[in-house]
Amino acid sequence: MLLENKVAFITGAGRGIGREIALKMASEGANIVIADIAEDTMQAAKKDIEALGVKAFAVRTDISDEQSVKGAVQAVTETFGKIDILVNNAAIFKRAPFLEMTGDMWDFTSNINLKGIFHVTHAVASLMAENKQGVIISISSVDAFQGCRDYSHYATTKAGVVGLSRTLAQELGPYNIRVNVIAPGIMLTDMTRDRVEANKEAYLAKVPIGRIGVPEDIANAALFLASDLSSYITGQVIHVNGGMYFC
């Protein structure tokens, strides 16, 4: 198994892409920390993960709240003693044309999508540095590279994820910590379902491979980056978009 006895801390693992990443890593032997704000989805995910024969630990976590994050990481440390893999997946995606944008709208998105990643990564990376090993994977978006009409706040935060990750790859490399990014293209998830279904034909026209992405496509990339198969890869962005954008 590629991740046997590893501990993976995954934000937003209760549903969608995060849940699929959790299941994929669990199928390869990793014990999973489900760090999510929605307790109902956490418990359902926990049951499915444990059915794969590994341990699952659900901890309610508001990544926009530094103290909530610190408490979650402390609870995980007491339970597992370590965190080998961090997947920064939790995010929000709410439409707001720029001329209608308010400061509160901007801050709400930034506090989760970017500052939230700072909170989690800072807490977990400190633990990884003590153990002299770790893998950090953050989920960005194709929108970080080509922009996204009516979602300037979202695109900006996802670009910030890339800048942060490339910097951390340099700073944390001496601690044997690898830091990479996955940039999904058009994906069919609970968060994007309405937008994708309303514009499906237009999206398909942009994707050379001819289909909309699904969470498993991202989970497969995350498994690769989390495993020793990618042991010499850090500071990189893996574009998983069916060819809709080349960078």
Taking only the tens place, the pLDDT of each residue in 220-236 is 999 999 999 999 999 99
Region 75-80: mean pLDDT is: 98
Q: CA torsion sign, 147 to 150 to 152 to 153? A: negative
> 86-121 burial, b if ≥16 CB within 10 A, otherwise e?
bbbbbbbbeebeeeeeeeeebebbbbbbbbbbbbbb
**Number of domains observed in the structure of the chain:** 1
Domain boundaries, position 68: 7-240
Q: Is residue 2 part of a domain?
A: no
Q: Is residue 119 part of a domain?
A: yes
Instruction: Check pLDDT > 90 for residue 68.
Output: yes
State the pLDDT at residue 231: 98
Q: Is residue 39 part of a domain?
A: yes
pTM listed for this prediction: 0.96
Catalytic sites, residue numbers: 154
Taking only the tens place, the pLDDT of each residue in 14-64 is 999 999 999 999 999 999 999 999 989 999 999 999 999 999 999 999 999
Q: Is residue 56 part of a domain?
A: yes
State the pLDDT at residue 79: 97
The percentage of the chain sitting over the pLDDT mark of 90, rounded to a whole number, equals: 89
CATH number at residue 164: 3.40.50.720
Q: Is residue 246 part of a domain?
A: no
Q: Is residue 245 part of a domain?
A: no
Q: Is residue 92 part of a domain?
A: yes
Q: Is residue 247 part of a domain?
A: no
